[in-house]
Amino acid sequence: MNYKNFIAGAMAFALAACAAGCSDKKDPDAGSETVPVETTTEELIPPTPTEATDPNAITFDDGRFDFAYVKTDDKDCAKGEVSVAELMGNKMLKFADDNTVPLEGKVQKIGISVTKLLGSEGAAKVRRIEFDMYAEATSDGLKRDDGEVVRAPGWIGGGGGTVTAQEKWYDFQDFSGGEYNFEASGAVHAQFKFLLADSGQCWTEEMDDANFLIMRWGVANESDMYIDNIVFYDEDGNSIPIAPASAVEDLKSKAEDIIDGIKADTEEKREELKAKYKKAAEDIESAVTDPKRREELEAEYKKLMDDVKESEQFEEAEAKMKEFEEKLKESISKTSDAEQQIMDEIEKAKADAEKVNAEVQGAIDEASEMIGKIQDR
């Protein structure tokens, strides 16, 4: 074999193959089996609010939040105010932290008065509470693992608790979530359960104010807390309807108007009668030496006493109260905490009126005794 010719032929073939390969790379339309390397980046999708699915959910769309309050009396409590505000276009209960308490160890606490929402009977049925928590950063103070400082709330976690009918503190289970990429977080869903309800660790109808705390701890950055879609469930898993607040508020407003009027009337009447009887008694005492003047004053005094006895002021007040009590009974079949407060205020107004009557009668008795002494002289 002519090895020189073989080697020369092989080299020529290799050169031709190499040239063909180079030609393929330059031609974009030429076929190729090479796989291009693609660089992909994951698109972050901003969170959106969770829509309520239960018809009895408290969504705060009506703007009502009189049943919520900020707890600030513990050393670790965050300071701030509650209101209804929009987050991502959805109305929620907002706790606006004023950030006067340092982040380390701080706990944001919102109290919820269940009796105001469900009434005493409804509160006694509660075995589970569910709600959604959100957080919105108010500062560029969250440092991520990669060292970047961002405006995001970071880790979100907390728990809750309540005082049961046995006057014991009951801890609900913890919950957690987080958001490191956006200013506002998505929903962190929480469930609070009365796991020891069978042993009496729950609320009863006898409790004046069944309430519970929602607590957010481990606050990683200055941020506000939001609560939405609160739902109460009974032992069968059925959601519990909210008591009709409009009827109660209506009646309460009317009651306050009546009570304010009665208080003003009774105060005015008390001062007026005290002044009259004091003057009558003084005049009789000073005129004891003038029999004619004494008879005139005695007649005037008796007329005053008759006027008081026949006065319609207190009778009208009592009639208004009775009429209002009947309206309450007809309008509301179940007595809630708000309604009970109305009844208590009515009873207090009655007591105030009776006190005025007693004081007036005391003044009458005192002056009558004085007249008796004068007549005995």
**Ordered domains of the chain (ranges, CATH):** 68-242 (2.60.120), 246-376 (1.20.58)
Which tokens belong to 148?
A: 């970047």
What was the pLDDT predicted at 52? Answer: 95
**pLDDT number for residue 93:** 98
> Measured in whole angstroms, how far is the alpha carbon of residue 276 from the centre of its chain?
49
117 by Cβ neighbours in 10 Å (0-12 / 13-18 / 19+) ranks as buried
Of the candidates 31, 213, 193, the residue with the CA atom closest to the CA atom of residue 128: 193
Please indicate, yes or no, whether the overall pTM of this predicted structure exceeds 0.95. no
**The pLDDT of residue 213:** 98
Interior/surface letters 292-317, b for 16+ CB within 10 angstroms, e for the rest = eebeebbeebeebbeebeeeeebeeb
Average pLDDT of adjacent 10-residue blocks, the chain of 377 residues: 39 42 41 40 84 96 95 93 97 97 96 94 96 96 87 94 96 89 94 96 94 96 97 98 66 64 70 70 63 71 64 60 58 53 66 73 69 58
Q: Which stretches of the chain are assigned E, i.e. beta strand?
A: 68-70, 80-87, 90-97, 108-113, 128-137, 142-143, 149-150, 154-163, 169-171, 175-179, 188-193, 211-217, 223-233
Length, in residues, of the chain: 377
Residue 97 pairs in a beta bridge with 80
Q: Is the Cβ–Cβ distance between 191 and 179 less than 8 Å?
A: no
CB atoms inside a 10 Å sphere around CB 225: 27
Strand partners for 231? 130
- Judged by DSSP in three states, 354 sits in helix
pLDDT at 254: 61
Sign of CA dihedral 60, 62, 66, 70: positive
Q: Which residues pair with 77 in a beta bridge?
A: 107
Neighbours of 194 (CB within 10 A): 20
Q: Which two tokens stand for residue 60?
A: 């705060």
> Are the C-beta atoms of 353 and 318 separated by less than 8 Å?
yes
The residue with tokens 């607590």 is 215
The answer to whether the beta carbons of residues 364 and 274 sit under 8 Å apart is no
Residue 275: its pLDDT value, please?
Answer: 74
> What was the pLDDT predicted at 64?
94
pLDDT of residue 358: 75
How far is it, in rounded angstroms, from Cα 292 to Cα 96? Answer: 76
* DSSP structural state of residue 196: T
Q: Give the pLDDT confidence score for residue 184 in this predicted structure.
A: 95
C-alpha to C-alpha distance for 253 and 333, rounded to whole angstroms: 19
How confident is the model at residue 335, as a pLDDT?
46
